C-alpha cells in the first residue's frame, strides 16, 4: 500500500511484467556499479594510496554494497517490512559462499595471506553476533542501531592501524601491497570513456548471444552514459550520480519484487533472501572475480567479507537509527525466522575460514565447491524456517473490509 497504485490486482500479467522489469533493473544495477561506481572508488583508493586488502574491505566493499543500503532504506522508510533485512542477510551468505565459490572454481588457485582473511572474518563474526542480539526480541532500539554504527567506525579505525598491529602480532611480517596501479593508465580493462559506452559494439564475427546481450543492455548503457559522468573525468561526480541511480533502482526493485511476491504469495523475507540478495550482489561477484583473476585473491575475499561487515553495521544500522529518530518509535521485525537465519551466518563464516585453513589458505576448486554446496543448503534451510516460523502478518488489499 506504500507504493503507487499499479498492478495491485493479482494476475499473470502482473507476474510477467514485474519479473521482466526486475530482471532489467538488475542489468542496469550491474552496469552502473561496474562501469561507474567501482571505477570511481578505484580512483579514490589509488589517490589515498591504500593497500589492496584495506581498499577491498572499506571503499570497494562500501561501493558494491550501495544497493543493499538503499534497499534497506526503502524497506525501513517505505514498506515497513523485512525485505531490506532479508536482502542483507541473504546477501551476506551470497557474498561469503558464492563469491568464494566463483573465485575458487573459475580462477587459478591463489595463495591468500592469512592475516587479512582472519582479521575480516573475526570482525564479521562480531557483526553477526551483534545483529543476532539486536534481533533476538524482534525489536530494534535506537541505542542498538547506534552501537552497530560505532562498531563499524571501530572496524575502520582498526584497519588504519593495521600495519602497526601486524608488526606486533606477526613474526614474519609481509608488507601489504599498495595500490600502485593507476586506473587511468592501466592497459588491462581501462576506464571507459563516453564514446566507449555509446559506440562500442561486438566484433562482426561475434556469437549471436553476444549481439543479443548487447542489444538488450544498450538502452541502459545509453541512458547511463548521458546521465552519469565517466569515471575518467571528475570521479567524485561520477560516484555521486551513480549513487543517485542506485537509490532509484533500489526503490523500483523493491516495488516490483513486492508486486511479484504479492502475486505469488511469497513473504518479503524470502524474496529478500533469494532474488533480491542475489541481484544486489552482482557488483560484488563481478569485482571480486576481476581482482581474483588478476591474482589479488586476498583483496577479493576481503571485499566479500568486508561487504558483509558494512552491510550489517551500516546498511542496517544507519536506516534503523534514522527511522527511530524521525518517527520516535522502535522498529518491529515481522519475521521471527530471520533471527535464526542470522545466527546461521556464523556457520557460513566458519565453513569458509576452516575450508581455507584446511588447504593452507589456498583458494582453489575444493574450497569453491564446498562454498557453493553450502550456499544451496543454506537457502533450503532458511526458506523452510521462514515458511514454518513466519507469523501471519498479511493484508489482503482486495478485501473490501
Bridge partners of 140, per DSSP, are 331
Break the chain into its structural domains and give their ranges: 12-171+184-192+230-389
Name which of 89, 73, 11 is nearest 270 in CA terms: 89
Question: Contact 82/266 with Cβ under 8 angstroms?
Answer: no
What are the residues whose beta carbons fall under 8 Å from the beta carbon of 104, sequence distance 6 or more?
363, 364, 365, 366, 367, 368, 369, 371
What are the residues whose beta carbons fall under 8 Å from the beta carbon of 212, sequence distance 6 or more?
none
For the chain, the average pLDDT equals 81
Residue 313: DSSP 8-state: I
pLDDT, one tens digit per residue, over 352-363 is 899 888 888 888
The secondary structure element, H or E, covering residue 110 is strand 110-111
Question: Contact 47/253 with Cβ under 8 angstroms?
Answer: no
Q: Distance between CA atoms of 96 and 345, rounded to whole angstroms?
A: 9
CATH of domain 12-171+184-192+230-389: 1.20.1420.30
pLDDT score at 399:
58
Which has more pLDDT, 136 or 85?
136
Which has more pLDDT, 318 or 33?
318
Report the SS3 class of residue 179: coil
Q: Distance between CA atoms of 79 and 358, rounded to whole angstroms?
A: 44
User: How many other CB atoms are found less than 10 A from the CB of residue 319?
Assistant: 23
Q: Distance between CA atoms of 254 and 338, rounded to whole angstroms?
A: 18
Q: Distance between CA atoms of 166 and 115, rounded to whole angstroms?
A: 8
Name which of 65, 59, 76, 57 is nearest 117 in CA terms: 57
Our measurement of the distance from residue 152's CA atom to the centroid of its chain's CA atoms, rounded to an integer in Å, reads 16
| pLDDT at 43 > cutoff 90 | no
Percent of the chain beyond pLDDT 70?
Answer: 86
pLDDT score at 194:
86
| pLDDT at 374 > cutoff 50 | yes
pLDDT score at 393:
47
User: How many other CB atoms are found less than 10 A from the CB of residue 329?
Assistant: 9
CB half-sphere exposure, 238, CA atoms < 13 A = 26
Bridge partners of 167, per DSSP, are none
Angle between helices 142-160 and 317-327 (to 10 degrees): 140
Instruction: Work out the average pLDDT over 354-382.
Output: 88
Tell me the backbone φ, ψ of residue 58, rounded to 5 degrees: -115, -85
Which has more pLDDT, 277 or 282?
277
The secondary structure element, H or E, covering residue 140 is strand 139-140
Bridge partners of 363, per DSSP, are 110
Task: Give the position of cell 556464523.
Answer: 346
Amino acid at each position: 500500500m506504500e507504493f503507487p497504485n499499479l498492478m495491485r490486482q493479482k494476475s499473470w500479467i502482473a507476474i510477467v511484467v514485474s519479473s521482466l522489469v526486475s530482471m532489467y533493473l538488475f542489468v542496469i544495477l550491474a552496469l552502473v556499479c561496474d562501469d561507474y561506481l567501482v571505477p570511481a572508488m578505484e580512483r579514490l583508493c589509488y589517490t589515498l594510496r591504500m593497500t589492496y586488502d584495506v581498499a577491498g574491505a572499506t571503499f570497494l566493499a562500501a561501493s558494491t554494497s550501495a544497493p543493499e543500503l538503499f534497499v534497506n532504506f526503502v524497506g525501513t522508510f517505505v514498506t515497513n517490512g523485512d525485505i531490506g533485512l532479508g536482502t542483507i542477510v541473504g546477501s551476506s551468505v551470497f557474498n561469503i559462499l558464492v563469491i568464494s565459490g566463483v573465485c575458487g572454481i573459475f580462477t587459478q588457485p591463489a595463495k591468500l595471506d592469512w592475516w587479512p582473511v582472519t582479521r575480516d572474518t573475526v570482525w564479521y563474526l562480531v557483526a553477526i553476533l551483534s545483529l543476532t542480539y539486536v534481533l533476538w526480541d524482534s525489536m530494534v532500539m535506537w541505542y542498538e542501531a547506534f552501537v552497530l554504527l560505532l562498531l563499524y567506525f571501530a572496524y575502520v579505525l582498526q584497519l588504519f592501524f593495521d600495519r602497526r598491529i601486524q608488526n606486533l602480532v606477526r613474526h614474519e611480517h609481509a608488507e601489504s601491497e599498495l595500490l600502485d596501479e593507476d586506473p587511468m593508465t592501466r592497459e588491462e580493462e581501462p576506464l571507459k570513456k563516453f564514446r566507449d559506452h555509446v559506440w562500442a559494439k561486438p566484433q562482426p564475427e561475434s556469437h549471436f548471444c553476444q549481439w543479443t546481450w548487447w542489444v538488450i543492455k544498450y538502452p541502459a548503457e545509453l541512458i547511463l552514459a548521458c546521465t552519469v559522468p565517466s569515471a575518467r573525468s571528475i570521479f567524485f561526480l561520477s560516484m555521486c550520480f551513480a549513487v543517485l541511480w542506485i537509490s532509484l533502482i533500489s526503490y523500483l526493485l523493491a516495488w516490483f519484487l513486492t508486486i511479484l511476491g504479492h502475486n505469488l504469495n511469497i513473504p518479503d523475507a524470502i524474496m529478500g533472501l533469494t532474488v533480491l540478495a542475489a541481484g544486489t550482489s552482482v557488483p560484488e561477484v563481478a569485482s571480486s572475480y576481476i581482482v581474483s583473476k588478476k591474482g589479488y585473491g586476498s583483496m577479493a575475499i576481503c571485499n566479500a567479507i568486508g561487504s558483509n561487515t558494512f552491510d550489517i553495521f551500516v546498511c542496517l544500522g544507519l536506516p534503523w537509527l534514522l527511522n527511530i529518530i524521525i518517527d520516535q518509535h522502535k522498529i518491529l521485525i515481522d519475521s521471527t525466522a530471520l533471527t535464526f537465519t542470522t545466527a546461521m551466518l556464523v556457520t557460513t563464516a566458519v565453513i569458509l575460514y576452516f575450508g581455507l585453513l584446511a588447504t593452507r589458505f589456498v583458494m582453489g576448486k575444493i574450497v569453491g565447491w564446498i562454498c557453493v554446496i553450502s550456499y544451496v543448503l543454506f537457502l533450503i534451510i532458511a526458506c523452510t524456517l521462514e515458511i514454518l516460523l513466519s507469523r501471519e502478518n498479511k493484508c489482503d488489499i482486495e478485501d473490501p473490509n
